[in-house]
Structure 1
């Protein structure tokens, strides 16, 4: 009986370690995705700013 209990405990530890590793990997992926999203947003923001400046310059002399 003790051998069975010890085996079940080892199996539970192994499953727990696998779940911890999966959670850590998922957290790493979330962090990478958030970083990639931030990097992707920067050029869009710059393009929007450049467009606004261009529109202002086009209409600046039309008062």
Structure 2
């Protein structure tokens, strides 16, 4: 089992909650809150890029 430090859940209005996490090796994790044993993982840089792009509106077409 990986030693993942999870942030508090992020819950948008009317949708599922998810959590972001990191580990000491520089990996980033995303999971549905309550299902942290089933996560997606990538580098911290990939997570940073994802969040920056979402904030810039590059994923608005998915909503």
Q: Which has the larger radius of gyration?
A: 1
Tell which has more relative contact order, 1 or 2 (C-alpha 8 A, sep 6+): 2
Fold match (TM-score > 0.5)? no
- Of Structure 1 and Structure 2, the greater helix share is in 1
